[in-house]
């Protein structure tokens, strides 16, 4: 599947929304906060309690019985009239009008008093009830008004919250807050890269900036962006190497040393595991010597020059070199030497450059262009490499990369340019860091699209002044390394639960038997007597005497016996529970999550003014057509 399969076609509305000049790397899905409960919901108005007077029931009962009181007073009045008439009836003959007048007065007073008492009782309760009803109705009206106002405020709050929830933006653009000079994209598929380039490139071009894409993926990840930009009227330059090698101008504008460094660095990085720095210096010497002796430099002439130094060039059948160029090279043959190392390196250089020379000859017969003209101040430039064999493809990638690196050192950047290297895995850490330093000096924003996070490329993660964007990483080790870089969060969890249960049972018996016996004996003897005598005047006398005695004996015997039998039983149960909590660290994003990301999903990690920021997003350009997509990033 090629990158252009991500977005097969887009409507004009979609492209107009994408090309709005606002930087975005994707969209972050931010669900709105659920409708909040009104702060007044817990403060429902309370009705004012209005209590009746303490004697309300008493006066109510009296008012209901006022008719009975009236009748009673009237009965008493008539009874009093009748009694008065009967009492005054004897005096009626002396005072004929007294009875009628007195009874009339009593009757009138009784009737008046009865009516007044009746009216007073009824009126007193009526006034009391009216005052109570007035207070109760006033309190009820105030409560109804307060409740209606409270209910209306609650309903208005709920309406606003529901409206906010229904209309809140769900997708917010993801923007870089740290203004990094380099963005490293690790992982992902060609589909995801094509979506990412379309999303970031549309805004970049619409703002009047330029973007240059080096596509080493052989999957046409920049085609979507190129087609969309062309449809929006932006300047587009697309070159495919080696087909358009003549129009690329890779060697144009370079002096002999710069040309030699481009090819030597390409060879060095291509064989960096087996090639030493001495061989790189030898390549620079050989290539610069050949370029100095050529009138115009091309890959074909470089191959012919290498053949001359190898003493295999056939001047009769090959007219690539002019006579003067051939003479100068022949004069340099003896200087080069004929050691095995020189011969091997000349042959290696010729073998790599021969493919480019053949492609240069087979290319369109067009006026050679300069490489710096392909990278415009505004617009999009795409250089995509294609090759039938893997080694030649990698060498071509290195040549294009190092030629771009050479261009960076001499380019007068405007500060609004972006250079994207798709498939940067093949280049190597040393060359990538060299381009990163040069891009920072030149003021060019650099974007590396790296498919695998392994070996030395892990050192690019978290470098100063950079931001990292992690996409789908299917390999477990790569996903683990990415998750470790994203970071770990801690939480307190229960690590140990201890339950102890115990039971104690005790049974005991005791028996006691005893007794006592006592005997008491006592005896007593009592003796007493008396005598008396008396005399009278006539000489008579009398006397008396007496005696008494008693004997007492007592005998008491007491026996006592006691016994006791005691039984005791006890049972006890005990239970204790212990909970141990521990602080554990877990991945903020699990490796399995990174392995299962959608092709266009990503995790952005950057360190900005507010500290380290981790954002999940999606770079699918079709999101711009969804509802509730915000134009600005959410306010944190």
Domain definitions of the chain by residue range:
1-30+174-234+381-396+414-487+593-636, 56-167, 253-367, 490-511+567-587
* 299-310 and 340-362 helices, crossing angle to 10°: 150
Residues of the chain with pLDDT under 70: 1-10, 92-93, 96, 272-278, 363-368, 413, 514-516, 518-554, 556, 635-636
Q: Which residues of 117-145 are buried (b: 16+ CB within 10 A; e: fewer)?
A: ebeebbeebeebbeeeeeeeeeeeeeeee
Report d(CA 553, CA 625) in Å as an integer: 133
Alpha helices in 271-339 (DSSP H): 277-292, 299-310, 323-336
pLDDT of 247: 84
Class assignment of domain 1-30+174-234+381-396+414-487+593-636? alpha beta
- Joined together, the tokens standing for residue 208 give 């009047």
Report d(CA 383, CA 244) in Å as an integer: 9
Report d(CA 183, CA 178) in Å as an integer: 11
CB of 432 closer than 8 Å to CB of 402: no
The residues, ordered by sequence, that sit 6+ positions from 160 with a Cβ below 8 Å of its Cβ are: none
Report d(CA 71, CA 117) in Å as an integer: 11
The residues, ordered by sequence, that sit 6+ positions from 191 with a Cβ below 8 Å of its Cβ are: 1, 3, 5, 6, 599, 600
3-state secondary structure of 338: coil
- Joined together, the tokens standing for residue 75 give 């009965």
pLDDT of 3: 34
pLDDT of 503: 78
Going by C-alpha positions, the residue among 180, 206, 171, 192 that lies closest to residue 16 is: 206
Contacts 24+ apart (CB under 8 A), 499-503: 499/575, 499/576, 499/577, 499/578, 500/574, 500/575, 500/576, 500/577, 500/578, 501/573, 501/574, 501/575, 502/573, 502/574, 502/575, 503/571, 503/572, 503/573, 503/574
Instruction: DSSP letter for 31, please.
Output: P
Q: What is the DSSP string of 133-196?
A: HHHHHHHHHHHHHHHHHHHHHHHHHHHHHHHHHHHS-SEEE---SS--SEEEEES--HHHHHHH
Alpha helices in 548-605 (DSSP H): 591-595
CB atoms within 10 A of CB 558: 9
CB atoms within 10 A of CB 181: 20
The residues, ordered by sequence, that sit 6+ positions from 86 with a Cβ below 8 Å of its Cβ are: none
pLDDT of 635: 65
pLDDT of 544: 61
Report d(CA 261, CA 288) in Å as an integer: 8
Task: Identify the burial level of 178 via C-beta atoms within 10 angstroms of its C-beta, where 0-12 means exposed, 13-18 middle and 19 or more buried.
Answer: middle
CB of 383 closer than 8 Å to CB of 400: yes
């Amino acid at each position: 599947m090629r990158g252009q399969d991500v977005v097969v076609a887009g409507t004009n509305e979609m492209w107009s929304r994408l090309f709005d000049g606002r930087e975005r790397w994707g969209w972050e899905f931010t669900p709105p906060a659920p409708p909040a409960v009104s702060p007044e919901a817990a403060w429902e108005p309370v009705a004012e309690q209005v209590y009746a007077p303490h004697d309300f029931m008493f006066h109510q009962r009296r008012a209901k019985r006022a008719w009975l009181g009236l009748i009673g007073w009237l009965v008493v009045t008539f009874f009093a009239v009748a009694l008065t008439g009967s009492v005054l009836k004897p005096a009626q003959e002396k005072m004929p009008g007294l009875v009628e007048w007195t009874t009339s007065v009593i009757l009138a007073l009784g009737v008046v008093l009865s009516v007044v008492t009746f009216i007073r009782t009824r009126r007193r309760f009526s006034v009391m009830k009216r005052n109570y009803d007035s207070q109760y109705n006033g309190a009820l009206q105030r409560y109804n008004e307060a409740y209606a106002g409270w209910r209306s405020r609650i309903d208005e709050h709920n309406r606003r919250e529901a409206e906010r929830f229904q209309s809140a933006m769900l997708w917010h653009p993801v923007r870089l807050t740290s203004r990094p000079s380099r963005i490293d994209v690790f992982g992902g598929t060609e589909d995801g890269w094509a979506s990412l380039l379309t999303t970031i490139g549309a805004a970049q071009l619409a703002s009047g900036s330029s973007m240059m894409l080096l596509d080493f993926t052989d999957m046409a990840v920049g085609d979507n962006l190129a087609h969309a930009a062309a449809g929006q009227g932006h300047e587009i330059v697309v070159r495919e190497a080696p087909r358009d090698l003549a129009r690329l101008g890779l060697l144009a504008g370079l002096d002999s040393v710069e040309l030699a460094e481009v090819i030597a660095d390409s060879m060095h990085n291509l064989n960096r595991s087996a090639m030493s720095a001495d061989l790189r210096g030898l390549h620079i010497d050989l290539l610069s010597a050949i370029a100095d002796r050529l009138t115009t430099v091309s890959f074909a002439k470089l191959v012919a020059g290498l053949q001359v130094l190898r003493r295999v060039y056939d001047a009769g059948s090959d007219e690539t070199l002019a006579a003067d160029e051939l003479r100068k090279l022949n004069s340099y043959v003896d200087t080069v030497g004929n050691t095995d190392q020189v011969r091997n390196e000349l042959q290696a250089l010729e073998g790599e450059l021969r493919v480019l020379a053949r492609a240069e000859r087979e290319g369109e017969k067009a006026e050679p262009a300069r490489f710096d003209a392909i990278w415009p101040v505004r617009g999009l430039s795409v250089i995509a490499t294609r090759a039938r064999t893997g080694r030649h493809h990698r060498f071509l990638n290195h040549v294009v990369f190092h030629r771009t690196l050479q261009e960076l050192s001499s380019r007068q950047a405007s500060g609004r340019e972006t250079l994207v290297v798709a498939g940067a895995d093949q280049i190597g850490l040393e060359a990538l860091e060299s381009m990163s330093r040069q891009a920072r000096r030149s003021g060019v924003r650099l974007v590396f699209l790296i498919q695998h996070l392994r070996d030395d490329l892990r050192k690019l993660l978290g470098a100063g002044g950079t931001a990292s964007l992690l996409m789908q990483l299917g390999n477990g080790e790569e996903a683990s390394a990415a998750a470790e870089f994203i970071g770990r969060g801690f939480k307190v969890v229960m690590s140990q639960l201890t339950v102890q249960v115990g039971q104690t049972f005790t049974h005991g018996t005791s028996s006691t038997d005893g007794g006592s016996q006592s005997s008491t004996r006592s005896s007593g003897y009592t003796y007493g007597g008396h005598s008396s005598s008396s005399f009278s005047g006539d000489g008579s006398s009398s006397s008396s005497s007496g005696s008494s005695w008693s004997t007492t004996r007592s005998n008491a015997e007491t026996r006592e016996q006691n016994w006791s039998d005691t039984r005791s039983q006890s049972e006890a149960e005990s239970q204790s529970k212990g909970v141990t909590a521990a602080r554990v660290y877990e991945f903020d994003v699990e490796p399995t999550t990174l392995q299962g990301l959608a092709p266009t999903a990503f995790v952005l990690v950057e360190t900005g003014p507010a500290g380290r920021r981790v954002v999940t997003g999606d770079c699918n350009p079709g999101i711009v057509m969804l509802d509730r997509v915000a134009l600005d990033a959410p306010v944190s």
